Amino acid sequence: MNEKESRRLPVMEQVLAGRLSTREAAQLLGLSQRHIKRLKTGLKKEGASFLAHKNRGRKPAHAISDQTKQTVIELVTTNYGNISYQQISKLLAEHHDINISAKSVSRILKAADLPRYHSRKKTSKCRSRDHSPQ
């Protein structure tokens, strides 16, 4: 349990024991009475594990898989030379059906210590001209 959840447990135990009302618990924890009632029923059914978030320790559903990351690294090191992340993203989508953003490509390559150094066009200075007398 993290700090927030461990702070809720003793207050909710007092609510279950009848020493605190749901209104007082709501004020102490900064939650609504409805949420306190929901926590109370969950604690009765599942115990203290109800307070912990159920997605803890899981990878996000929209995360890029390790296999895809490895494929991107291999393709970039073998096929694509010194081109930008945007161009890599476009080529991966066109030729390999890997649809990831340029920012994701940059994160993957930076994590693998493969930074891209694409050259920038040198800015041209404007030539000064002689001003005509007025």
Give 119's pLDDT tier (boundaries 50, 70, 90): low
Angle at 104 between CA 100 and CA 108, to 5 degrees: 115
**At residue 118, does pLDDT exceed 70?**
no
* 23-57 pLDDT per residue, tens: 999 999 999 999 999 999 999 999 888 888 888 88
Q: Say what the pLDDT of residue 61 is.
A: 87
**At residue 70, does pLDDT exceed 80?**
yes
**At residue 121, does pLDDT exceed 80?**
no
Map out the domains of the chain as residue ranges.
3-51, 66-111
Taking Cα atoms as reference points, which of 33, 111, 44, 46 lies closest to residue 72?
A: 111
**At residue 1, does pLDDT exceed 70?**
no
The alpha helices in 79-133, defined as continuous H runs, are 85-96, 102-111
Query: For the chain, what is the mean pLDDT?
Result: 88
φ, ψ for residue 30 (rounded to 5)?
75, 35
